[in-house]
Amino acid sequence: MEDVQSTPAEVPMDIDRVGVKNLRLPLVVRDKAKGRQHTVAEVDLGADLPAAFKGTHMSRLVEALGAWKETLDYKSLKSLLVDVRSRLAAQRAYVIFRFPYFMEKNAPSTRSPGLMSYACRLTGEIGGDTERPSFLLEVDVPVMTVCPCSLAICEQAAHSQRAIVRIACRFEGFVWLEDLVEIAEGAASAPVYSLLKREDEKAVTEQAFANPAFVEDVVRGAARSLESHPGIRWFRVEVNSQESIHDHDAYASIEKVVRP
């Protein structure tokens, strides 16, 4: 049968990325407490395409992912990228995994257990001038903040709200998602929980009001902890506060190269 994809392109222009998006598959990730965790991922997969070719072979991308049944780590992700690049005879290959990561979290007073879900993304790329793949790990962590200004000027109350701390990092070796969650929560007024009894609500509220924080405070606190993490080479931390008394969000961001 005719291989239409390999015929000359009408517009001879290189394509940086072409592939498939939103493939779903079971995924095994490393869990700090239990060793492994089973979750479900949405996956984008692709490669570059030279100007000489009309199209890429999309089915080969699906085949590569179907043949890949491993725990998500450096070695396995590199093998997937190398396989994609080889199947498509490409110079570069990339993959993005988006998945929920679950952590059991005990309420602060009653110790009642509940599951928290954190939205995670892992991006991997290989090609160019090096055979060494590059990875970008991201996690969104919901937290609670209490406004220091409101607390200072009001006699009986202060406004509080949920904020999202988004951490993105490049690293050497391995970085636990649990460590990034801990960094985000430690910079906020208080963590949030999936299950709270009355005693727990009291404890969380008192903790938050004892630690008021602007988005500027949260982003600086998280950045300081990321800067001192031994495995992180580069990070970007963003805090988006879903303001409870304003018709807008408050936002702050820091990006830094820790070690080249």
Percentage of the chain surpassing pLDDT 90?
A: 75
Question: pTM for the full model?
Answer: 0.91
Tens digit of each residue's pLDDT (9 = 90 or more) over 190-235 = 999 999 999 999 999 999 999 999 999 999 999 999 999 999 999 9
* Residue reference for tokens 């779903």: 24
Assign 239 a pLDDT band (cuts: 50, 70, 90). very high
- Between 257 and 57, where is the model more confident? 257
Say if residue 7's pLDDT is above 60: no
Separation of alpha carbons 218 and 186, rounded Å = 9
**Residue 59 has what DSSP assignment?**
H
Assign 81 a pLDDT band (cuts: 50, 70, 90). very high
Among 139, 241, 127, 145, CA closest to 183:
139
Say if residue 43's pLDDT is above 70: yes
8-21: b or e for each residue (b if 16 or more CB lie within 10 Å)?
ebeeeeebeebbee
pLDDT of residue 10: 66
Q: At what angle do helices 74-88 and 58-67 cross, to 10 degrees?
A: 150
pLDDT of residue 55: 65
Name all domains of the chain by residue range, CATH numbers in brackets.
8-257 (3.10.270.10)
Query: What rounded mean pLDDT belongs to the chain?
Result: 92
Task: Kindly state the helix (H) or strand (E) to which residue 206 belongs, with its residue range.
Answer: helix 198-210
Low-confidence winner among 2-6, 43-47, 162-166, 175-179 (lowest mean pLDDT): 2-6
pLDDT of residue 149: 87
Q: Provide the pairing of β-strand 190-191 with 92-106.
A: unpaired
Separation of alpha carbons 258 and 228, rounded Å = 9
Say if residue 3's pLDDT is above 80: no
pLDDT of residue 93: 96
Rg (CA), the chain: 22
Say if residue 12's pLDDT is above 80: no
Tens digit of each residue's pLDDT (9 = 90 or more) over 127-179 = 966 788 999 999 999 999 999 988 889 877 889 999 999 999 999 888 999 99
